[in-house]
Amino acid sequence: MTPVKNVQSVKKNCGKPKAEGFKGVNILRMSRIAKLNLQRERDKENYRRPPTETTENETEVNIDNNDMELDFGENPEADAPDDTYGSDNPGSAGNEKPQSTDANEENCMANQVDMLTDEGSVKPDIMVKTEQNSCSDNLDVEATPPSSTRKAQRAKVTPCPGTGSEPSNIFEAFWHPTDLAVKPVMPSRKADKAVDMVPTLPFEALTASDYIKLPLEQMNAFNSQILQSLSGTYQVSEKQNTIRYLEMLSMNSDAANKITNGPIMLLLIKMLRLSKTSVLRVQIASLMGLLIRYSTALDVELASSGIFNALSDGLRDKHDKLRRFCMATLGELLFYISTQSDQDTKEINTQEYPLKDNRSATSWQVPSAVIALVSSILRKGEDDLAQLYALRTVDNICSQGTEWTSRFASQDAIGHLCYIYKATGKQESTRLIAGSCLARLSRFSPSCIHLILEKISFKDIACTLIKGNTREQQISLNILNSALVNSHTVTSMNRYILSLSDDKQLVPGLISLIEQGTDVLRGKTLLFVALLCKNSRRWLPHFFCNAKLISAVDRLGKEKEGFIHQCTEAFVQLVASLVPGILDTVSSDIQQVMVGKRHGPVTALAGRAHPKSTIHLFPVILHLLGSASFKHRVVTGHVLLQLANLIKILEAPFQARDDFQMTLLRVLEAATEEPSVILNEHTVFMSRIIPSLSVLYKGNKDGDARFLCLKILADVMIVIFSDSSLTSDEQTITDLKSISQRHFLPLYPSFAEDEDPIPIYAQKLLVMLMEHGCVKVSDILHKATVSQCFEFLLGDLSNANVSNVKLCFALVSAPEMDTYILSQLQVVRRIGNLLEFVAAKDMDDFLEPTLELCRAFIIRGTGSNRSVALSKNPALLLDSAFSMSIAVDQQTCVMDICDFGGNMGIFLELVGNSDPQISDLASDCVVLLLKAAPREATVGLLTSLPKLSTVMDLLKHDSHRCLIRLLYGLAFSCRQYLAQGMILSISVPALMRVEALVSVFKGSNDSLLADAASYLSAELQRLPRCG
């Protein structure tokens, strides 16, 4: 924990020697102080608002952030030392003998007292001393008692949007409630044993709590005693004691209300104006300030009491302390008045003070001379404390909106504020209040921004964002953001912004603030960056081509509420709104280059050094599309049309086209990563972008550019085909067929021969087009094209993809395909190898399409109609008439189909696959292969008898269909073995296991299975037993 200010205030008040200050430190008490101060700083509560009630256990103090600086000062609202009047008045005790001249000077007021007092007296029932605040180590920590229910003291500005809402404009977004926080102008009265002892009075004192409970008649009588004690017949010391007593009462808001709005205040005003004793006037001014500070309402009768004249006269006095307290008192009064001009506030006051005389607030008329007088206190050479109170006055009043801010927006006042803000000899707290005044002036009176920037350079203000403390950074951001929002009112704004270009630390410093600053600074810095880029696009690449900023914005974009969410939303909206303008300018620049209006070297267009070229801004859009926060905001229908226009321009050559085309293609690629963009704007893609992509592909020497052209085309088509609402639209299908015929098929041979991975994408797209009927097999039935489709089998099978297999299947299964071409390819053995490979590698997504490809090749030898019949009824294998009907000749059969016989083992393994579809396809291939290549298939089946027995055992409780196919297939093989006189080594143990299973199947309740088992049993009996 790091104490930051007012650490010794407790010791000072206690009057203990400094050396003993650490002997009795109460850690719990100091923790309560720190916690209270943190709460004040966090909430920035209006000092007129009552403290929040809490039931929190006071013995437990939890501080969540261990890195936060802690303030152990008990009076954090007083940034400056209290200007006590006791130092000028050594005889302050009740038995003091004042100077005789002081008494004589006050005698002139004696005759006026009768006009202000009521006759009669009151004998209070309770006479006690006022409560004392002990300075011992176990002192209870309390905030300075604020006035209760002064809800009127709130800044009259548009409140921050609620949780989750978006700001209506950028100007509303970057203001935080702390920007309009107000603090008391009048310093608080410090607690001290000596001071808080009830002084000797000519009447019996009441506590504040007893005073406010007095009936009206008794209160008037008690007030009369106070008025009498302040009259000229009493000594100055006695009057001082009465003033001290009133100060004690003023700490209670209800008591302050009654005193301020009664005859006592009127007398104090007259005493301040007429008294010749400086010390007494100082005390009176201090008392008036305390009363106004702690009052919750002021009656309008006070407006005609001459209070302005009295305080103005005090401000012109040569006595520094009098001027200080008059300034503080006037500041409290002016701030109260400034809050009363709001109609909503008057309605609140009416409800809270129904017994008050609620006249129109227009009774409070502040003369311009008073405003000018306050401004004059800001001049160079004025007393520092008086100047501090004047600054607080201006700062508080400028929180109340345009009407009051405009009264301090004069050239002289702004000049004085700028001087104080820049003055190195001033205390930092004073400087920062002056900066806060400037920030509020720039907010509510934009016309004065140019006056501020004439006194303090735009660059100097920006430098504080890197070097200043947190509060100074917030002030600077407010001024800078206000200036940029109202840049149209500042004629030299472009020059001011240009001056920042020399600061190499600005960009990294701002990004660091966004990453590591407080929530308030992070939000405000975000908007400063956006406004800076809006006013000068040259800053866009510096920020938005920086991965750190994009990453930070994406993290902040996850916030769903609060100030950060509000600022991030506004930031993203503003930056996204710049994209159409960037695209228009880039398009214009390229067109000017194409027609020769812009001269320069070839690299000028792409070079950032070219002053008139904006093409270097284009990568910004690419980086924005890489951000989760921007992607959905940047690509609109209008932006997509602009991109379509740009890619159309790329069809013609121009200087630096190669560099630009890659960025544009990457932008389009990033845009198509969001399916909703394609679906919402599919007509733009189909009618404008895809045709341009095909043109751009032709003759392009850049392989990466060619790949992106095809990839974007494929990505768009895949998304469109995946949407049922589009594929069911007749016009959309017609357009897709047209695109396929005009822009895809003519380029397919080039795609297939291009460098990887272009052929893969082309095949994938071709398969999809064929599946949706946009491309027919007859459209690609060229020997060269077919050969290209099977080329993947010649290379590393691990590089194969499903699209390769599906495309081959589509070709082989098409009736238009010439079997002779397939025979010439000699690929059956390689397809069998592929099946072995995908099965061994458990490539489940490949199994089905590969088996379908195998089956399609086999069907070429049996005929599709007979294949269907054989698949349904495998008993036809043993039907001689059916066998004779299959005329296998060289014209219809793939010549190397017999090579599949060597893969019979893997077919059998796949029959036992747990996937029913795989099992069915594999068993079908076994039966069909036995008919298409009887000898080779028979050899493969009988030599794989151990695998067959294992599969049959697996299927005995599952698929009877697949099992029946295997039984008839084995029976057919037994016949072929005997008929062809084959000599094979058949495993006798496996054969015996098969016979045992067949005997079980013969007793099955499934007649088809029982019949198949009976046929097989008979054939097995005919086989010779060897060994």
The residue among 806 and 43 whose pLDDT is bigger is 806
106 with 239, same domain: the answer is yes
- Residue at token pair 């053995």: 829
Residue-level length of the chain? 1027
pLDDT at 228 over 80: yes
Name residues whose C-beta falls within 8 Å of residue 263's C-beta, 6 or more positions apart in sequence.
116, 117, 223, 227
CB 419 within 8 A of CB 438: no
Q: pLDDT for 236-276, tens place per residue?
A: 898 999 999 999 999 999 999 999 999 999 999 999 999 88
293 with 331, same domain: the answer is yes
25 with 132, same domain: the answer is no
SS (H, E, C) 730-780: HHHHHHHHHHHHHHHHHHHHHHHHCCCCHHHHHHHHHHHHHHCCCCCHHHH
pLDDT at 123 over 70: no
Q: pLDDT for 1-27, tens place per residue?
A: 333 333 333 333 333 334 333 344 555
40 with 108, same domain: the answer is no
CA 460 to chain centre: 29
Least Cα distance to 660 among 622, 632, 634 occurs for: 622
Helix segments in 782-903, DSSP class H: 783-789, 802-813, 819-825, 828-840, 844-862, 864-872, 880-885
Separation between Cα atoms, residue 339 and residue 63, nearest integer Å: 35
Of the candidates 330, 353, 376, which is a domain's last residue?
Answer: 353
- Asked whether residue 853 is assigned to any structural domain, the reply reads yes
Q: Which amino acid is at 983?
A: I
- For residue 82, the SS3 value is coil
- Asked whether residue 788 is assigned to any structural domain, the reply reads no
Separation between Cα atoms, residue 626 and residue 498, nearest integer Å: 29
252 with 112, same domain: the answer is yes
- On average, the pLDDT of the chain sits at 80
854 with 949, same domain: the answer is yes
567 band by pLDDT with thresholds 50, 70 and 90: very high
Four-point Cα dihedral 741, 685, 698, 706, nearest 10: -120
Separation between Cα atoms, residue 386 and residue 83, nearest integer Å: 10
61 with 111, same domain: the answer is no
**Residue range 805-832: average pLDDT?**
88
394 with 262, same domain: the answer is no
36 with 87, same domain: the answer is no
pLDDT at 671 over 60: yes
**Residue range 512-536: average pLDDT?**
94
**Residue range 677-706: average pLDDT?**
92
- Asked whether residue 592 is assigned to any structural domain, the reply reads no
pLDDT recorded at residue 356: 38
CA distances from 734 to 507, 723, 727 (A): 52, 15, 10
pLDDT at 921 over 80: yes
Structural domain span for residue 293: 77-144+184-353
270 with 410, same domain: the answer is no
pLDDT recorded at residue 1027: 46
CB 568 within 8 A of CB 556: yes
Of the candidates 76, 101, 126, which is a domain's last residue?
Answer: 76
pLDDT recorded at residue 727: 85
pLDDT at 489 over 50: yes
The residue among 533 and 86 whose pLDDT is bigger is 533
pLDDT recorded at residue 352: 42
pLDDT recorded at residue 55: 40
Q: What are phi and psi of 406, to 5 degrees?
A: -60, -25
pLDDT at 346 over 60: no
431 with 306, same domain: the answer is no
- Asked whether residue 742 is assigned to any structural domain, the reply reads no
- Asked whether residue 525 is assigned to any structural domain, the reply reads no
Separation between Cα atoms, residue 1013 and residue 965, nearest integer Å: 11
164 band by pLDDT with thresholds 50, 70 and 90: very low
CB 525 within 8 A of CB 512: no
Separation between Cα atoms, residue 825 and residue 821, nearest integer Å: 7
Least Cα distance to 282 among 333, 321, 243, 227 occurs for: 321
**Residue range 904-930: average pLDDT?**
92
Domain total for the chain?
4
Four-point Cα dihedral 291, 295, 297, 299, nearest 10: -20
858 with 999, same domain: the answer is yes
Separation between Cα atoms, residue 297 and residue 350, nearest integer Å: 10
**Residue range 823-837: average pLDDT?**
91
Q: Does 757 sit behind a cis peptide bond, omega within 30 degrees of 0 on the bond before it? A: yes
pLDDT recorded at residue 684: 94
Q: pLDDT for 573-627, tens place per residue?
A: 999 999 999 999 888 888 887 777 554 443 434 444 343 467 788 899 999 999 9
Separation between Cα atoms, residue 896 and residue 894, nearest integer Å: 6
CB 768 within 8 A of CB 717: yes
DSSP letters spanning 917-944: HHHHHHHHHHHHHHHHSHHHHHHHHHHT
156 band by pLDDT with thresholds 50, 70 and 90: very low
Least Cα distance to 579 among 529, 623, 525, 628 occurs for: 623
pLDDT at 783 over 50: yes
pLDDT at 752 over 90: no
CA 602 to chain centre: 41
Q: pLDDT for 356-407, tens place per residue?
A: 344 444 478 889 999 999 999 999 999 999 999 999 999 999 998 888 889 8
- For residue 689, the SS3 value is helix
Q: With a threshold of 0.75, does the pTM exceed it? A: no
Winning range, highest mean pLDDT, from 142-156, 251-265, 994-1008: 251-265
Q: Which amino acid is at 714?
A: A
Residues of the chain by 3-state class (helix, strand, coil), percent to 5: 65, 0, 35
Of the candidates 60, 76, 92, which is a domain's last residue?
Answer: 76
Q: pLDDT for 444-468, tens place per residue?
A: 999 999 999 999 999 999 999 998 8
- Asked whether residue 298 is assigned to any structural domain, the reply reads yes
- Asked whether residue 861 is assigned to any structural domain, the reply reads yes
Number of C-alpha atoms within 13 angstroms, CB side, residue 793? 22
Pick from 78-82, 266-270, 325-329, 481-485: least confident: 78-82
- Asked whether residue 948 is assigned to any structural domain, the reply reads yes
CB 13 within 8 A of CB 21: no
pLDDT at 31 over 80: no
